[in-house]
Structure 1
Amino acid sequence: MGAAAQQRVHMCKGVTVHLPSHTKPSIITAKGATSAKYVHGLTIDGQTVGSPVIRHEQIAAAQMCGL
């Protein structure tokens, strides 16, 4: 990644996703994300996800996703 691109990278601790078809938002958290370079694992509602690919339905139905 070039110097200009590196300046645009913003690290965040989490996001809240509001899907129009759901009454509750999905919250995605990433503890330590401001200093970590890699994702070491993923949980959705406390269940470990072993695949790097997740389906829309998993996020839409989730109340909490953790990286």
Structure 2
Amino acid sequence: KNELKVPSDKVKVDNPNKLTEDEKSEVVKAVEDANKDEEGKSTLPEGSKVTVGDNGDVTVTYPDGSKDTIP
């Protein structure tokens, strides 16, 4: 249902198998920024949650419970 856009620029991290909290925050921001329209408004449904695993995998959980994952 949702059109998740993957950031075009990857976030540089020291250890791709163990991201720091700061690196995870940068990844979340990159995903959120990639999913904004021309006016800077989020194109993700309101209430969507972006989480990043220690290995850098991104999971977007939508309000309806569905999920998208970006490896």
Fold agreement, TM-score > 0.5 = no
Choose between structure 1 and 2: higher strand proportion. Answer: 1
Give the greater-gyration-radius structure (CA).
Answer: 1
Q: Report the TM-score, using the length of structure 1 for normalisation.
A: 0.30
